Chains A and B, each alone.
Chain A
Amino acid sequence: MEEEETYLELYLNQCAAQDGLAPPRSPLFSPVVPYDMYILNASNPETAFNSNPEVKETCGGFSSVDLSFLPDELTQEDKNQPVIGSKHETEENSESQSRLPSPSDIGLGSNSPSLSNPHSQQHPSDTDSVQASPEKPDSNSLPLASITPMTPVTSVSECCGIVPQLQNIVSTVNLACKLDLKKIALHAKNAEYNPKRFAAVIMRIREPRTTALIFSSGKMVCTGARSEEQSRLAARKYARVVQKLGFPARFLDFKIQNMVGSCDVKFPIRLEGLVLTHQQFSSYEPELFPGLIYRMVKPRIVLLIFVSGKVVLTGAKERSEICEAFENIYPILKGFKKA
C-alpha cells in the first residue's frame, strides 16, 4: 500500500508540473471519480485525470497492476483522450461523434450524481473497494458517484430508452466586418429590416429551416435548428449570403449558446408532491404557469415538467448535458408516478 501511494504521488507531481495545459473538459468529468482507481490505490485520484495528455505515457507504469477486470473499450482509446480516464470519458467522446449514446453506455450510468441515488444497485465488490478508500474531503456528489454500479445495464433500464429530442439550437457567430443593414435588406429576398422596431436584419433560409439576426457590428445569432451540425451549416449559409452581397464576411467563434430538448415520460406526475420534496430546486405556481420549473444544479439545466409527463429541458450548451439532466430527473419523476 505504501509503495502504491508514493508512486501515485510521484506521478501526480509530474502531472501538476504539466497542469494548465488543458482545462478540465467539462464539469461532468472532474467531480466524478473513476472507480477503477479505488481498486488500484487509496488516495484521491480525481485530480489526476484532468484530460492530461501525459497520462497516456505514465499509465504504462501501472501495468504491474492487474487491469483485466476492466472492459475492453478502455484498452483501445481515442487519440485525444487520456487512457485511464473514467469510462464515461470515452463514452463522451464517442458520443460527440455519433449522435446518441449507445445503450451499452456504462459511462452514463456512472455519471449519475447525488440526485439519482435510490436506484443504484451496488455490487458487493464495489462497496468493498469503496470502503477501502479514504473519506472524500468535499462535495456530496463524490461519495455517491463512488457507489455507482459497475455494470452497464442499470442506467439503460432506468430511462426505458427515452431520449430527449432536440427542438431548438441557438448559436452565435462573428462575421468580423461591419455590415450595411439597409443594403442587405435591399439585396436579399429573405431579409426583413425595420430599424424602428429592432436594430437587426431578420433573415430566414429554408434548408435547414432557421432564422438569423444579423447586426451591423457583424455579429449574428442563428436560431431554429434541430441539431448542432444543422445550426453550423445554417450559420455558414447566412455568412455566404452576406459574402455574396459584397461584404468580407468571415466565420469566427461559432458557439452554441443554448439547446432546448423535450421528451415524454408517458405517465402523469404529481407536481404538488414533487415541489414538496424538492423544494430547493423546484418552483410550482399553478396560478402563473401550469408546469413545474426545476432548476437542476448539476448539470445546470432548467426543466419544465408538466402534469402530462412531458418534460422540456433548456439551458444546455452541449447535448450531453440534456441527456444527463434527463437521466437525473427520470428516477425522481418515477417516484411520483403513483398518486
Chain B
Amino acid sequence: MPGRGRCPDCGSTELVEDSHYSQSQLVCSDCGCVVTEGVLTTTFSDEGNLREVTYSRSTGENEQVSRSQQRGLRRVRDLCRVLQLPPTFEDTAVAYYQQAYRHAGIRAARLQKKEVLVGCCVLITCRQHNWPLTMGAICTLLYADLDVFSSTYMQIVKLLGLDVPSLCLAELVKTYCSSFKLFQASPSVPAKYVEDKEKMLSRTLQLVELASETWLVTGRHPLPVITAATFLAWQSLQPAYRLSCSLARFCKLANVDLPYPASSRLQELLAVLLRMAEHLAWLRVLRLDKRSVVKHIGDLLQHRHSLVRSAFRDGAAEVETLEKEPPGQGQGQGEGEVGNNSLGLLQGKRPASPALLLPPCMLKPPKRTCPPPQVSTVTGDEDISDSEIEQYLRTPQEVRDFQRAQAARQAAMSVANPP
C-alpha cells in the first residue's frame, strides 16, 4: 500500500496489515518480514523489536545489547503474549532474562539452553505472582525436553539467588478445571454429562484439599491428582448417569490429556474416601465399595474434617509407639497396616480401627528387605596377597587368545562393511 513505507529487508512497498494473536502487525507480502508491531510504535519499541530505525532517530538503546540477547528478550515477550499474561509479568520476565544474561555461563550457553531459559524466566515470574503455570505446559510450548528445562531451571534459580514459591494448587485447580470442555452440550458431550462449572470447581477443590491432607499430594506431580479429583467430583454430582464413564473416556470427551499417574491417584483417593465412609454412621451399614462410594462423596466432603480425624490416627506417632514396644510380629512399619487389616476383618459391623495416616509409599510393604549393614573391620592398610591380584590378570596364553579373537572380530567387521 502506498504511503505506508517500505519493507526494510527487501524494499518492497507491498505492506499488508495482518494480526498475530492480539497484535496488529504490518507485514511485507513479498518477504514476510514484520515491519511494525502494533498500531502505536515508537522508535524505542521498533529498535527493541529488531526493526531498522534510521540512525538520526535511533535511541542507541540496543548498542550495548547483543543480538542474541535481543532475540531472547523478544522470545520472552512473545511467550508472555501467547500465554496471555498480564503486562507487568512481561517486564519482570524480561528483567530476569537480562539479569541471567549478565553471567558468562549463560552468555556462552547453547541456543537450546537460551531458548529454555526464556521459559524459565517466564515460569519464575508466574510462580512469584501465583499464576498457575506448570513446567509441562512451558515445555510443550517451547518444544523442550523436561530434563533440559529442569537443569536450566535449577541452575538459574541458584545463579540468581531467587526465592521461587511453590505452585499454587488452588489456582491450578481453577485453571485446569476450566479447561475441561464439559460445561456446554456439544455433539461429543451428551446432555447428562454437562456440568455446572462452579459446582464442579468447588467440589474438586475440596477433594484436592482432602488429598493433600491425607498425604496423596506431597512428593507427587500435582496435575494427575487434580485430574483424578475432577473426575470424582464430576461423577459424584450425577452418579446415576456418570458411574459408567471411565477416567479415560472422561478425559477424552473433556478434550484433556490423561496423565499416566491419574488412575493410581484415583484409586488412592477412593481408598481414602472408603476409609472415611466407615466412620459415617449411615454409610457404614451400606458396605460401600469403590464404585458405590462415589454416590456419597457429597456427604463425605461435608464432614471431611471430623471424618479424617476419626478415620485416621496419626501415622507418625503410631509408627513410633509400635517400634518402641517389643515387636511382637517382628516387623517395623508393616505392623500398623497388618494390625489394621486383621482388626478390620474381625470387626464386622463396627468400624475398623483408625487406619494409619501415612503417605502411600510408607503403607506399601517394602519391595526388598535391606540387608542389615555389616560392620566391616577393614583398616585400609592390610596386606594384599599376590594371589588375589593375580586372579584379575590374564595369563599369557589367555592374552594371545584374546588378541586372536579381537583380530578375528576386526576382520569379520571389515568384511561385513566392505569398503
Contact = CB atoms under 8 A, between A and B. Distances in A.
Interface stretch (B3-11, B19-27, B93-101, B354-362): B354-362
Interface stretch (A18-26, A135-143, A267-275, A321-329): A267-275
Contacts of A226: 373, 376
Contacts of B167: 286-287
Nearest to A284: B166
A40 interface: no
A339 interface: yes
Contacts of A289: 150
A267 B320 contact: yes
B412 interface: no
B399 A283 contact: no
Q: Size class of B's contact patch?
A: 35 or more
A268 B359 contact: yes
Given A187-B399, A271-B218, A306-B219, A244 B323 contact: no
B150 to A, nearest CB: 5
A286 B222 contact: yes
Contact of B392 (A165, A188, A286, A288): A188
Contact of B394 (A187, A208, A272, A275): A187
A286 B219 contact: yes
B219 A337 contact: no
Interface stretch (A107-115, A120-128, A230-238): A230-238
Contacts of B379: 229, 233
Given A187-B399, A267-B319, A287-B135, A240 B389 contact: yes
A186 B399 contact: yes
B380 A233 contact: yes
B345 to A, nearest CB: 26
B218 A307 contact: yes
Given A283-B154, A337-B316, 11 more contacts: A230-B380, A233-B380, A240-B384, A244-B389, A271-B218, A280-B163, A283-B157, A285-B150, A286-B219, A288-B154, A339-B213
Interface of B: 134-136, 146, 150, 153-154, 157, 163, 166-167, 212-213, 215, 217-222, 314-317, 319-320, 323, 332-333, 357-359, 361-362, 373, 375-376, 378-382, 384, 388-394, 398-399, 402-403
19 contacts: A186-B399, A188-B394, A189-B393, A227-B376, A229-B378, A230-B376, A233-B382, A237-B384, A241-B389, A244-B393, A266-B320, A267-B316, A270-B218, A285-B135, A288-B135, A307-B359, A308-B362, A337-B317, A338-B316
